[in-house]
Structure formats: C-alpha cells, structure tokens
Amino acid sequence: MFHGFDLSSPLVCEGIIGDGCGGGRVFFIKEETLFANDPMTNQNILLLKNVHMPRSVSKKGCVITIMCDSEIINFDLSTMKPTIKQLSI
C-alpha cells in the first residue's frame, strides 16, 4: 500500500520521480475516470473522463497508457490530451 493505494491493482500505477511528467504521483482509474493523486496535498486531480471498461493503466515518461476492452488510450501529461486507438474485435 502506498498512501492508501494498492499498487498491485491493474487500475493503479505510480509515477516514478525523474521519469518525466507526474513523478511521485499515483495514477488510478475509478468510476470510468482517470485521476492523479498528489502525495503532497493528498488531492485527487481529474485527468480524463469516460474511460470505458478499463483493464490496466501504466505510465512511461509523460504518457499514461490505459488498456480497455475495445481501445487503447494514451494520455499525454505534457499536453493533457488523449490519443485513442480502437482495437479490432
């Protein structure tokens, strides 16, 4: 557990300090919404709504990748914009 977050959950990931944007924050999906938790203030910052059927969330550099049932969402923290790729079903 990290500040009340289960880092082994597929819908939670930690931003590594020095790995680009959002270092030291915890990113998580709750009720179809992507949030960042600031450990200094313990406030949750809303990043992206309408994340449908998420399976996992990960972060590398400034990009948060959300794997969903029918799409892959790459959310760029530097621009605060998502790029969505539809998966073939």
Question: Across residues 53-71, what is the average pLDDT?
Answer: 96
pTM of the model: 0.90
Question: Domain map of the chain by residue range?
Answer: 12-86
* 6 neighbors 13 (Cβ within 8 angstroms): no
Q: What is the pLDDT of residues 34-61, one digit of tens each?
A: 999 988 899 999 999 999 999 999 999 9
Assigned CATH for 12-86? 2.40.10
